[in-house]
Amino acid sequence: ICPGRGFPSILTVCGMAAVWQQVLAVDARYNAYRTPTFPQFRTQYIRRRSQLLRENAKCGFEPGLRRHYLRLRSQLLALRYGPLSEQSSFRASSVRSSRTTLDRMEDFEEDPRAQGARGHRRSVSRGSYQLQAQMNRAVYDERTPGALVPTSVAEASRAMAGDTTLSENYAFAGMHHIFDQHVDSAVPRLQFANDDKHLLACCSLDGTLSIMILSPSPPSVKVVLKGHAGPVTDFAWSLSNDVIVSTSKDGTLRIWNTEDGRCIREVRDPEASELLCCTFQPMNNNLTVVGNSKHLLQVVNISTGKKVKGGSSKLTGRVLSMSFDAPGRILWAGDDRGSVFSFLFDMATGKLTKAKRLVVSEGSPICSISARSWISREARDPSLLINACVNKLLLYRVVDNEGTLQLKRSFPIKHGSQPLHSIFCPLMSFRQGACVVTGSEDACVYFFDVERNTKAIVNKLQGHGGPVLDVSFNCDESLLASADSTGMVIIWRREQK
Ligand SMILES: *[C@@H]1O[C@H](CO)[C@@H](O)[C@H](O)[C@H]1NC(C)=O
Ligand SMILES: *[C@@H]1O[C@H](CO)[C@@H](O)[C@H](O)[C@H]1NC(C)=O
């Protein structure tokens, strides 16, 4: 039982639970090496380990003892299979097939001590959650320009949602599934499809992308997109999910049919430079913006494969990240020298006009930018979330129509050099607070409440074997996906009872 959190649980934020998750993480890292001739036992093994560790965590062992156990366990595994600290240095191709379905991991009995109040509260939380998802869609669709928050509705619905806290709402307990089809190379980006909670894609430095489906069970790789001749750096789903665009260090932008995995079009960079990031114009999916290693930002018409006249601009460094605001009027782009530029986008012509520049931290790469018009239901508060290799996740307020940014607050994470990404939670909560999620170099996924002044950390997930590079929520927030530098993709399931 975790003292002082008002929520007795096996959750990760408290010390004891953290240790059992670390033990599971160590076991998960070595899973590909177990029973080389009987891969079907690996799933069973990890499931059983999870069950036992969870059960034991309730017995209240002294945390120091558990940490000692963790050290011993790591040493024994390293003796048995070799050290794993040098990521993917010796992963044999024969170990690739170990997909681990952990879908029944959450079916174990609750701690009886926690049963009463919590069991009841949880069931309330679940019902209201579905209601929340529906109302969210009906009333607050961000894609409807000018839609305003009707405060009375928000208050009424919060009352219906019950008195649940953000921590309870974002309690992700178990791993649902592990994908390891890219296990020798980093997976820099992953993203759930729009309005489809079981469809997900990721790109890899191995030169491919994969589209995965999580239902019907067991989850599987639907199709692998093959064609790039170099690491795939970024990709984006079109609004209707029929098309994916991707960028690669091979100097091409590719457009893929997501049904059959066919490459529909290949657009070469005129400067033959590495392409590092891409995004769709949210209001016109015929237009994609691409950033390259020669500091250039370029609007491309994907119906024709041609550059849009007036649709290019130079940054001060390699273009690493970008994001449109929801109406598609402002585009922010970040480079590896620490600058974020805002551009005004002309919808009729596709022209870009440079507006503002912010130096976040001179020389620190801007790895990730995410824009959001509403931070919570309380007020319109356009915001930008930035990862900039400064050991912090940064939250900015957008203060005018030209995209000027003002630092609102920051959250500590481990971030020195890896291309880490972060996101806003897709649904606006009826509860107090608003949530953001980020990867981190300490192999954890962090949830922060942007409106809580102290103890902003809401949850922390452990299970990755290397820096967590990207995270993505599905549309109803029932699943979270995270990807790391060792190529592992973990699907986490929201705790429901
Ligand atoms: C994209 O272009 C095609 C014609 O090539 C047009 O039919 C379609 O409406 C356009 N889509 C958008 C979102 O503008
Ligand atoms: C993109 O190309 C299509 C097909 O030629 C054309 O209809 C459309 O107007 C173009 N869009 C822009 C913004 O140039």
Q: Which of 243, 302, 303, 347 has most ligand 1 atoms within 8 Å of CB, for mutation?
A: 303
Q: Which long-range contacts (CB under 8 A, 24 or more apart) does 263-266 make?
A: 263/225, 263/227, 265/302, 265/305, 266/227
Task: Give the mean pLDDT of 388-414.
Answer: 96
The set of protein residues with a Cβ atom below 6 angstroms from ligand 1 is 284-286, 303
Q: Is the pLDDT of residue 153 over 70?
A: no
Tens-digit pLDDT profile for residues 263-279: 999 999 988 999 999 99
Residue 318 Rama label (left phi>0; alpha psi -120 to 50; beta): beta
The pLDDT assigned to 378 comes to 63
| Residue 286 CA to ligand 1 centre (angstroms) | 6
The pLDDT assigned to 211 comes to 98
| Residue 401 CA to ligand 1 centre (angstroms) | 27
The pLDDT assigned to 446 comes to 95
Cα 271 to chain centroid, rounded: 31
Return d(Cα 408, Cα 400) in angstroms, integer. 15
The pLDDT assigned to 133 comes to 38
Closest residue (by CA) to atom 1 of ligand 1? 286
DSSP 434-474: -EEEE--TTSEEEEEETT-SS--EEEEEE--SS-EEEEEE-
What is the reported pTM?
0.74
| Residue 274 CA to ligand 2 centre (angstroms) | 25
Nearest ligand to the C-alpha atom of residue 286: 1
The pLDDT-based confidence of 396 (bands split at 50, 70, 90) is very high
- Please work out whether the CB of residue 303 comes within 6 Å of at least one atom of ligand 2: yes
Higher pLDDT, 288 or 451: 288
| Residue 303 CA to ligand 2 centre (angstroms) | 7
- Please work out whether the CB of residue 301 comes within 6 Å of at least one atom of ligand 2: yes
- What's the mean pLDDT when you consider all of the chain? 79
Tens-digit pLDDT profile for residues 460-483: 888 888 899 999 999 988 999 999
Q: Which of 25-39, 81-95, 278-292, 432-446 is least confident?
A: 81-95
Higher pLDDT, 360 or 168: 360
**What CATH architecture does domain 166-374+381-494 belong to?**
7 Propeller (2.130)
Break the chain into its structural domains and give their ranges: 10-135, 166-374+381-494
| Residue 284 CA to ligand 1 centre (angstroms) | 8
The pLDDT assigned to 246 comes to 98
The pLDDT assigned to 28 comes to 76
Q: Is the pLDDT of residue 434 over 70?
A: yes
Higher pLDDT, 75 or 107: 75
Closest residue (by CA) to atom 14 of ligand 1? 284
Higher pLDDT, 69 or 242: 242
Q: State the DSSP H helix or E strand holding residue 53, giving kind and residue range, or none if neither.
A: helix 40-57
The pLDDT assigned to 74 comes to 85
Which ligand 1 atom sits nearest the alpha carbon of residue 303?
Answer: 5
Tokens 């950033």, residue located? 291
Measured over the CA atoms of residue 158, residue 159, residue 160 and residue 163, the dihedral's sign is: positive
Complete edge-to-edge strand list for the sheet that includes strand 252-257: 232-237, 243-248, 252-257, 263-268
Return d(Cα 306, Cα 299) in angstroms, integer. 9
Tens-digit pLDDT profile for residues 305-330: 999 999 999 999 999 999 999 999 99
Tens-digit pLDDT profile for residues 94-124: 222 222 223 222 222 223 333 333 333 233 2
| Residue 265 CA to ligand 1 centre (angstroms) | 16
3-state secondary structure of 367: coil
